Amino acid sequence: MPRYKRILYFIEIAFLLAAIIYLSFKIFFPFLPLNRVKISENTVILEGKLNHRRKEFLNLISFNYRKFLLAFPFWRLSKFENFLRTHSFINTYYALEEFTDNLLKLGISYWEPKGWRIEFFSLKSKRWYNLKDVISTDISSYPLERLIFLGLGLKPLPYPEIPVKEEDFLKNYFLGGGFKVKDEFFRENKVLIRIIKE
């Protein structure tokens, strides 16, 4: 084969491979959860819940574990669960008792002097509360009927600062989600939870 034909042959192969890669991204990328799970340094911002009995992670935009494996092909269920157990706490639409039970299942003791600091921000009263104080006092004095988890900090955060701004959360987390967020999330009886490893 003449040299120029070999060069043309390699150019055609390169263009073909580039087209395949481009089309693969166009087809699969919108379905990958990369734009819905934000990991920055030691901070993980997620929303959903972990079903221990069925060993599933669910959230309100239908997280798909199979699609997660497309993005992270070497992660298997045990490794994924370990990641959640060591890096994040997943919770949504729980009563206070269920919330604390799940903390214990994930090995997070909220009453220990050192370890985890768990706080919630009431959208109604615009204040941060310490979960330990709520557990040890009359919880009826606090405006919390249901809990909703939006952000988790594994590094100490400036105290008054919410781990993720609502506007940024809505832009990034529900990108392409087709989901009416305000109707579901930001009612007055919902709160933001943050868990900080000290």
Per-residue pLDDT of the chain (198 residues; tens, 9 = 90+): 577 777 778 888 888 888 777 666 555 443 333 333 333 322 223 344 444 454 443 333 223 444 444 555 555 545 544 444 443 333 344 455 555 666 666 556 656 656 666 666 555 566 666 766 655 544 444 444 344 343 333 233 333 334 444 444 444 433 433 333 333 333 334 445 565 555
Q: Could you tell me if 39 and 26 lie in one domain?
A: no
Q: Could you tell me if 23 and 113 lie in one domain?
A: no
Range of the domain at 13: 1-31
d(CA 192, CA 175): 20
Q: Could you tell me if 69 and 2 lie in one domain?
A: no
Locate tokens 């580039």: which residue?
A: 18
Q: Could you tell me if 13 and 39 lie in one domain?
A: no
Residues composing the chain: 198
Q: Could you tell me if 20 and 54 lie in one domain?
A: no
Q: Could you tell me if 184 and 163 lie in one domain?
A: yes
Q: Quick check: 136 and 23 in contact, CB under 8 A?
A: no
Q: Could you tell me if 26 and 114 lie in one domain?
A: no
Q: Could you tell me if 91 and 144 lie in one domain?
A: yes
Number of domains in the chain: 2
Q: Could you tell me if 26 and 37 lie in one domain?
A: no
Q: Could you tell me if 112 and 170 lie in one domain?
A: yes
Q: Could you tell me if 108 and 170 lie in one domain?
A: yes
Q: Considering the entire predicted model, what is its pTM? A: 0.33
* Element housing 133 (H / E): helix 131-135
* Element housing 185 (H / E): helix 181-185
Contacts of 20 (CB under 8 A, 6+ apart): none
What's the confidence (pLDDT) of residue 132? 64
Q: Could you tell me if 108 and 166 lie in one domain?
A: yes
Q: Quick check: 190 and 125 in contact, CB under 8 A?
A: no
